[in-house]
Structure 1
Amino acid sequence: MSYTPANVLLDIHTSALAGMGSVPKPFAPWAALAAQEDYPDADLSEEHFRTTLISGDPTLITLWSRHLTAWDFAEGPKWAQDSPARTDERRLAIYERLRFGSDLRKALDNAVPVAKLPGPTVITKEFTPWYTPERAAARSFYWTAYERKLRAKGWSDSAVASLDEASRAVVERLADPEQAEARQAKGLVVGYVQSGKTANFTGVTAKAIDAGYRLVIVLGGTLNLLRAQTQRRIDMELIGQENILRGADPDDLDSLVGVDYVGDGDEDWPDFVRHGGRPSVLGAFDIERLTTRDKDYKSLAQGIRALEFEKREPTLPLCDPANLHHAAARVLVVKKNKSVLQKLVKDLKQIHGLLGELPALIIDDESDQASINTSDPKKWERGSTDRTAINKLISDLLGLLPRAQYVGYTATPFANVFVDPGDDQDIFPSDFLISLPRPSGYMGAQDFHDLDSAIPLNERTYANSQEKAHVRGIYESTGDRLQEAMDSFVLSGALKLYRADHGVPDGPFRHHTMLVHQSVRKDDHAELALRINSMWHQAGYSSTAGHARLADLWESDFAPVSEARASDLPTPSSYEELRPYVNASRQRIGSGGQPVVVVNGDTDLYFDQLDLDFDRTPHVWKILVGGTKLSRGFTVEGLTVTYYRRTTQQADTLMQMGRWFGFRPGYRDLVRLYIGREEQFGRDKSVDLYEAYEGICRDEETFRDQLARYAEMVDGVPQITPRDVPPLVAQHLPWIKPSARNKMFNAELVEIRSPGRPIEPASYPLDRAALKRNTERWRPLLDVLDATPRLFTNPPDASSALDRKFEALTGAVSHTDLVKVLSQLEWERPQYFDPHLTYLRQLDGTLAKVDNWLLISPRLTSGARVEAGILGSVPLSLVRRNRQAGKAVFGRIASVEHRVAAQRLIDQASSAQGSSAVGPTTGVALLYPVVEGKTHSDVTAVVRNGAADPSKVVMAFTLIPPASAVSTDRRLVRFRAKDSRHRDDATIPASSS
């Protein structure tokens, strides 16, 4: 090739960076060394480098992006001077090591900004580090191939680095496959619904087999379709063509008969990973597949022989490096099916003398489905250990393979952390629990709910409200809106085709689906599918009336949402410009005369007949009607419109039904959720499905936040281990159980310490006599409130546009007086507040010292204000709130602007910027006289002659202790848990484990 100055610079920089390895070093000497032989006259000045960057040279920027991002993400390297990963401080440490000048640093920052992404949250018990960067780099054949494949798929450097970090966090907590002593580790990886967990466990598999694991068993769902999808993904992105062909000539058609993918003309075969030759010939090792895309594990003699490993050094165990790194790896992707797993267990039992030497890895996808032991707990209490089928077979595998490591993957972890931690044969994640960060580009709860939005309802727009942009409520007054949802499906399909025709890659638009989920009953599915079919044929999508209806929906909904949310994407200027694509969308959806597919079968044969393999089918443009089978594992590709009206009593089941969560590249603005509001639930209850989802999403995010908070090490020791996690779930039980009762394990949270953080109880009494007693207990503190209101202001800052003002009555109370009142309060469920009260009682100097509290009783705006005295107090502003449907607890009590103002007082006090009213040993208490009701008149009804009925007022509060209210040991939680080893006594795992 002919060399240009840019080619020369790229060649020199490539060599220099390669010479450094994984550690940034002074760049100039390495560049000079790289240039001296081939380019002795090359311009190596920083100015030339900077100018080339500013010109936007893509190859040079790509090169530096990969290296800078890798260094940005490196966890705790010695050269980083304790700078945290993915921060400006880390980037500064890198530049200092490279010895770059300020101008070049600015150019690099502009070309490759720091990816300030969250890392994985790791709850772990102590372990012996073995998977060092040097060891990982020394053997990385399959990880390098997988990484290369991800980049070819369009993954960014930061996305690859994030996966590298998260998968390393798993592998380093497994046992060292080379160690002489057999040890098992069990862990759980928590992702988000449809968020790419497969990519993580494929990365873990790549690194694990590179490190020495020689048997990998992937439990890939409960249906052949799901198992086959997982098998294909691993084959394509990790195992690769050469391992699949096993020496067959890809140009010899006769030798390819019966070979997966290439033999049956899979159109994606060219995209399967290529290693450039048999890995064993290239100095690595081969992977032998013991399952194929269409065949699960079979109990055959050849299967037994395939599991036998040859040793290069017969006198040494297989796990010795002399044998381990020359042996082929075996990979199985098996269905969670009793007969399949029994065959595998039977074959393993026939291999004598080897299993104790075999490093094995068991990956359990959707590990809270089928894998959990759901046998009657009463039988266990009587000494019975009769496990459920799949759980027993997993236990058998772990028993047969003393070096097996178990890693479960799920988006709904509650069932897994409630497994009995005292049962060593079960799958409780005793060694580690890793919460993956929310991936970039993912549409989750935050994209469908205005969580904690301070924007008033009447000021919300398509631009500032997620709900307004994407959610269409189904109320009794609006009718069922099913026709509108189907119209949205046709219209959004037309917009996808328009975008594909106007410069947007059509890859994301290969599939286009609508999901209708209204009932679990199969008879209901058939009836609904028939109705939708009839509606489709009567919709008149080719008629003048049909186009007029779509044009109205385009003008009123899709056009303004797309303008607000996707102004950078091609958008038609009018419906007439879109009209030809509407016809094309209609034709695709209605192809074969059947726009609707019912998905509710229980058998593999049923799913085979559906022709819904999104990997192997060129285009799926259909309306899917179903129930449970659409709620777990079955990934609905291209999902754009969801019509959802079915509820459940279990939070994890409800979350798994959230198929509208996922990646929506190129069409986020087109996603619509039609969801039931105030649906009937049971005989006499109603539930707002949208609010139910928001509630469980809050609980899940709280769980993740708590994990992140407690993951910080204290004096090099974990604050909590996985055995201490169950109470983190139990303290926020929603109106539906976190999981099925037979999956939950009892645990008690003794204490929660919240220095500088809000405490907001929600489980207030239902009994009016108890409410009155609580009000009477608060009454003495109300006298400290000054009748003259104080003005609070929330100035906008970089993180919030909140600038609302409000008035409040204020007064100071001693810590002793406040705790005295709190200790006397009655609760519907005392266990929710007791752990906080344990902490607050110790702030008398036992744990830390709090002198007093600023009591703040906010006033509502004048138009909505109802004021009344409480048992003779000054008039207070009554607040209307509702308990969550079907349960005793309220939703959020404190208004956002009030919490922001209170938090600012605490934060300023901790940084010595506070006013005299709030010092470093002063807490803030927001007090709300709450009246339950749905309308303004419900509030006025409890007031008579300027006084509120104390039996109809809930004295609710939010407390924020001062940031100084923490002990020297910095621990935040303390637990008491019971497990099967201590059935009759309480232990404190947080301090004794």
Structure 2
Amino acid sequence: MMTMIIEKRGHFYTTLAKQNDYDLELKNAMKQTVVHLLEQNTTLARPGMLLGNIQSGKTRAFIGVMSLAFDNGYDIAIILTKGTKALAHQTYQRLKKEFYTFQEQDELQVYDIMHLPDFLVAYELNQKLIFVVKKQKQNLERLYETLFEEYPALGKRKTLIIDDEADYASIGFEKTNRETTEIRTIAGQLDNIRNCLMDTSLLQVTATPYSLYLQPENLQVHEHKRFQPIRPAFTSLVPIPDQYVGGDFYFKESDEEYSLASYVYEPILSDELVILKKEDRRRFKVEHALTSHKVQSLRRAIVQFIVGTSIRRRQQRRQGEIEKKYSFIMHTQINKATHEWQRYVVESMVSSLQYAAQYEPDLITPILEETYHSICCSLEKTFARDDIPSFQQVHVDVLRALSAEYLLVTTVNSEKQVEQLLNEQGELRLRTPMTIFIGGQILDRGITVQNLVGFYYGRNPKTFQQDTVLQHSRMYGYRDRGDLAITRFYTTPAIYETMKQINEMDSALRSAFESGGHKGGIVFIQKDAQDRIIPCSPNKLLLSKTTTLKPSKRMLPVGFQTGYKTYIQKHIKAIDSIVEGISEKTPVLLPVEKAVAIIKRIADTIYMEEGYTWNADAMIAAMKYLSYQSSDPASSGYVWIIVRRNRTISRYDQNGRFISAPDTPGTGGGEAHIAREKAITVPALILLKQKGEKEKGWMDAPFWWPVLMTPQETEPAIFANEVGQKD
């Protein structure tokens, strides 16, 4: 079928393209989206999809699509936003700004559906119209009245419905009866409106397509079959610009020791989250907030925020630039009482710091100096040493910031509070140079928080949902590299590992779309009772029990300690005997069953620290699956083995975190590079025998550290270690 030729030089599109300086890649994405909308019949079950990363410019992209659609026969655009006044207001203000010129010339009008003028005359109705509508019962009822009762002629005009944050009220993983009822009600209203319109197209916009793409049409499970998910009629990808900072930075580049990203994550203990849930003076007394070890991570986070922003503002002042205002988010619970308790704790810390700054500055000098040197480690990855202020200069700035109350602490846990805090652009207003926002679900998604450099996160539900957790990542977006140098992300190791896992799944999904692999569906697999790998239903996956398989992925235990030498030496000797004849110079093919025996032995020699997990059974199952899936019959059932002995790696890196890349010493890629070259059709298993010296943080017991490299030919798959119905 020939591709439809569309008008690309129309008044609306050319004006916005010039106004926003769209690059060629984004223009092509917009063009293809409009072509698909004109060519294909989109419905609620088979919508068009505009897929972007979190805070990567999706709104910019769909506004461009709207302008191009207006030039190609569409008269009305209905923008469906998440059901909060704040996000609806932000979207409305953004559209008013983008289409200001057209409104002034009476070519187009933008309306919030709940604030329409009392009566629209023909002169207004004949213009291009944009309606901003919350995905909420009363909003959708008002939209129906407008289109089909008050102004029935509008229902006959060509209409584009854009469902922003589409996963929120669409096909998805439903958790509660209330959510299920609300989602079905809204979906029913939307479907009714779409069916009543004479000529309409539906475009869904999201960064978290998990629930939209991965629901099966049926639940029949047969070996060697895959589920065909309910998918949009087409998918257009929003290009990711170079300035964008997302999950790969926070959860992939962070594994590279001495990289800028490696300094961002700061682990916190789960016990601290318990302290911060509610007041309990048996556990913690708030008057000790500045000194108690029970809230040391939160205290460190606040001090780093103050010191880091003081450094950046001095740098900006030195360069003759406008000094930025910075933000910090604390998001651990949805309970309002918890927010007030956390605010009390944080304000107590800040008050103590302010008092010390004015009357006892020597009392806080040591902690400020320690924090300064810690931040300098990441600053040196971006700035020349001469561009980093001295501690003496920063010390003066911090004391002034504390004394002059540069720091504001505020809670954001209701629609009313958010409305009061929004600026003219619909973004959270930064009233002071440093603002700490404490809140819950209202901060989940959509609301823009400018210059965010601190994120203290502790949401830890029993069952993580990918769509929800990813959208909590407010630190994603377009980031100044200088600001990245002072950015810190605080959470527990368990939550961090889960978010890392979610990012891997999200990246695999996008890669499949980019390569065209999504036409066949992402493979969901599990190990059954007969030890076979078979497809499974994605709506039964427990996210905490899944592993993403994709080309050249490393799988290894991180965050562990070994058993005592007397307890583990028999297992070490057994492994030694299996690999005894394998030279360190040349990788060899080993039957996968022998590799399985090695992993089982290793599992008996180590134990995981709190918050860290390693599922040896999952590694074994994945290794066997990938080995027997080989396209080369000669290597099927085998695994490449790369052996290294007498290693002396430390347990911790320079930031005090557990080493996560024992296979990449130096700058040449190490064993990981060799494994990546060898693992083409079957996996490669790197076996690193460590001396395990006590001075390196170990138990003075030699041990084997395994790293599995998946083959280059790996088909993206989500592997379920355990399967259970979601709540």
What is the distance in 2 between the residues matched to 1:708 and 1:412? 15
On the 8 A contact 2:592/2:639 being kept in 1, the answer is: no
- Over 3 Å counting, the alpha-carbon distance change for 1:340 and 1:183 in structure 2 is closer
Task: Report percent identity of matched pairs.
Answer: 18
* 1:791 paired residue number: 585
Give the match's secondary structure for 1:192. Answer: coil
On the 8 A contact 1:654/1:693 being kept in 2, the answer is: yes
* 1:206 paired residue number: 67
On the 8 A contact 2:26/2:239 being kept in 1, the answer is: no
What is the distance in 1 between the residues matched to 2:639 and 2:628? 21
* Alpha-carbon offset, residue 697 of structure 1: 2.0
Superposition RMSD in Å: 5.1
**Is 1:146–2:16 an aligned residue pair?**
yes
* 1:631 paired residue number: 444
Once the two structures are superposed, residues 39-80 of structure 1 have per-residue CA deviations (whole angstroms, 9 ceiling, x without a partner) of xxxxxxxxxxxxxxxxxxxxxxxxxxxxxxxxxxxxxxxxxx
Of 108, 125, 128, the residue aligned with 1:329 is 128
Give the AA of the match of 1:471: Y
* 2:644 paired residue number: 859
* Alpha-carbon offset, residue 371 of structure 1: 3.6
Give the match's secondary structure for 1:539. Answer: helix
On the 8 A contact 1:761/1:833 being kept in 2, the answer is: no
**Is 1:398–2:157 an aligned residue pair?**
no
- Over 3 Å counting, the alpha-carbon distance change for 1:481 and 1:168 in structure 2 is same
* Alpha-carbon offset, residue 615 of structure 1: 4.6
- Over 3 Å counting, the alpha-carbon distance change for 1:428 and 1:202 in structure 2 is farther
Give the AA of the match of 1:288: Q
* Alpha-carbon offset, residue 137 of structure 1: 3.1
On the 8 A contact 1:338/1:389 being kept in 2, the answer is: yes
On the 8 A contact 2:79/2:133 being kept in 1, the answer is: yes
Of 296, 310, 321, the residue aligned with 2:114 is 296
Give the AA of the match of 1:213: Y
On the 8 A contact 2:335/2:440 being kept in 1, the answer is: yes
On the 8 A contact 2:315/2:389 being kept in 1, the answer is: no
* Alpha-carbon offset, residue 788 of structure 1: 5.3
Give the match's secondary structure for 2:581. Answer: coil
Give the match's secondary structure for 1:189. Answer: strand
**Is 1:556–2:373 an aligned residue pair?**
yes
What is the distance in 2 between the residues matched to 1:150 and 1:495? 32
Give the match's secondary structure for 1:399. Answer: helix
- Over 3 Å counting, the alpha-carbon distance change for 1:220 and 1:499 in structure 2 is farther
What is the distance in 2 between the residues matched to 1:558 and 1:957? 34
Give the AA of the match of 2:82: G
- Consecutive unaligned residues in structure 1, runs of 5 or more: 1-126, 152-158, 246-277, 280-285, 310-327, 379-383, 679-686, 712-718, 733-740, 748-753, 764-779, 793-809, 866-878, 880-890, 908-921, 944-952, 967-971, 976-993
Of 479, 491, 496, the residue aligned with 1:676 is 491
**Is 1:467–2:272 an aligned residue pair?**
no
- Over 3 Å counting, the alpha-carbon distance change for 1:860 and 1:613 in structure 2 is farther
What is the distance in 2 between the residues matched to 1:555 and 1:974? 44
* 2:236 paired residue number: 434
What is the distance in 2 between the residues matched to 1:561 and 1:167? 38
* Alpha-carbon offset, residue 478 of structure 1: 8.1
* 2:167 paired residue number: 368
Describe how 1:928-967 pairs up with structure 2 within 5 A.
958=709, 960=711
What is the distance in 2 between the residues matched to 1:431 and 1:959? 32
* 1:346 paired residue number: 145
TM-score, L = length of structure 1: 0.53
* 1:240 paired residue number: 100
Give the AA of the match of 2:646: T
* 1:187 paired residue number: 48
Give the match's secondary structure for 1:389. Answer: helix
Give the AA of the match of 1:839: Q
Of 146, 168, 186, the residue aligned with 2:31 is 168
Once the two structures are superposed, residues 413-452 of structure 1 have per-residue CA deviations (whole angstroms, 9 ceiling, x without a partner) of 2112135669xxxx96421223434332222233334548
What is the distance in 2 between the residues matched to 1:356 and 1:545? 71
- Over 3 Å counting, the alpha-carbon distance change for 1:745 and 1:210 in structure 2 is farther
Give the match's secondary structure for 1:438. Answer: coil
* 2:504 paired residue number: 698
- Over 3 Å counting, the alpha-carbon distance change for 1:524 and 1:788 in structure 2 is closer
* Alpha-carbon offset, residue 188 of structure 1: 2.3
Give the AA of the match of 1:531: V
- Over 3 Å counting, the alpha-carbon distance change for 1:487 and 1:973 in structure 2 is closer
Once the two structures are superposed, residues 552-609 of structure 1 have per-residue CA deviations (whole angstroms, 9 ceiling, x without a partner) of 146413344323323399543453377257525763635xxxx2111112xx334334
On the 8 A contact 2:453/2:486 being kept in 1, the answer is: yes
* Alpha-carbon offset, residue 216 of structure 1: 0.4
Give the AA of the match of 2:100: G
Q: Which moved more, 1:160-169 or 1:474-483?
A: 474-483
What is the distance in 2 between the residues matched to 1:376 and 1:388? 13
On the 8 A contact 1:223/1:335 being kept in 2, the answer is: yes
Give the AA of the match of 1:148: K
Higher RCO (C-alpha 8 Å, min separation 6): 2
Once the two structures are superposed, residues 72-123 of structure 1 have per-residue CA deviations (whole angstroms, 9 ceiling, x without a partner) of xxxxxxxxxxxxxxxxxxxxxxxxxxxxxxxxxxxxxxxxxxxxxxxxxxxx
Describe how 1:771-920 pairs up with structure 2 within 5 A.
787=581, 789-791=583-585, 811-812=588-589, 836=626, 839-840=629-630, 843-844=632-633, 855-863=640-648, 897-905=670-678
Q: In terms of Rg, which structure is larger?
A: 1
What is the distance in 2 between the residues matched to 1:785 and 1:934? 22
- Over 3 Å counting, the alpha-carbon distance change for 1:342 and 1:447 in structure 2 is same
* 1:221 paired residue number: 82
* 1:45 paired residue number: none
Describe how 1:237-636 pairs up with structure 2 within 5 A.
237=98, 239-243=99-103, 245=104, 278=105, 286-291=107-112, 296=114, 298=116, 302=119, 328-350=127-149, 358-372=157-171, 388-419=184-215, 429-449=231-251, 451=253, 453=255, 460-461=257-258, 464-468=259-263, 470-475=264-269, 479-503=295-319, 505-506=321-322, 510-540=324-354, 541-543=357-359, 544-545=361-362, 548-549=365-366, 551-553=368-370, 555-567=372-384, 571-576=388-393, 579-580=396-397, 583-584=400-401, 587=404, 589-590=406-407, 595-601=408-414, 604-610=415-421, 615=426, 619-621=430-432, 622-636=435-449
Of 629, 640, 659, the residue aligned with 2:453 is 640
- Over 3 Å counting, the alpha-carbon distance change for 1:699 and 1:575 in structure 2 is farther
Q: Which moved more, 1:142-151 or 1:473-482?
A: 473-482
Give the AA of the match of 2:187: N
* Alpha-carbon offset, residue 746 of structure 1: 8.8
Give the match's secondary structure for 1:364. Answer: strand
Give the AA of the match of 1:348: L
- Over 3 Å counting, the alpha-carbon distance change for 1:898 and 1:385 in structure 2 is same
Give the match's secondary structure for 2:262. Answer: helix
* Alpha-carbon offset, residue 853 of structure 1: 5.5
- Residue correspondences, number: 621
**Is 1:664–2:479 an aligned residue pair?**
yes
What is the distance in 1 between the residues matched to 2:150 and 2:717? 46
* 1:129 paired residue number: 3
What is the distance in 2 between the residues matched to 1:656 and 1:860? 43
- Consecutive unaligned residues in structure 2, runs of 5 or more: 219-228, 272-292, 528-535, 543-548, 558-573, 600-615, 652-659, 719-727
- Over 3 Å counting, the alpha-carbon distance change for 1:170 and 1:939 in structure 2 is farther
On the 8 A contact 2:51/2:207 being kept in 1, the answer is: yes
Give the AA of the match of 1:926: L
- Over 3 Å counting, the alpha-carbon distance change for 1:956 and 1:495 in structure 2 is closer
* Alpha-carbon offset, residue 334 of structure 1: 1.4
What is the distance in 2 between the residues matched to 1:956 and 1:559? 32
Give the AA of the match of 2:261: Q
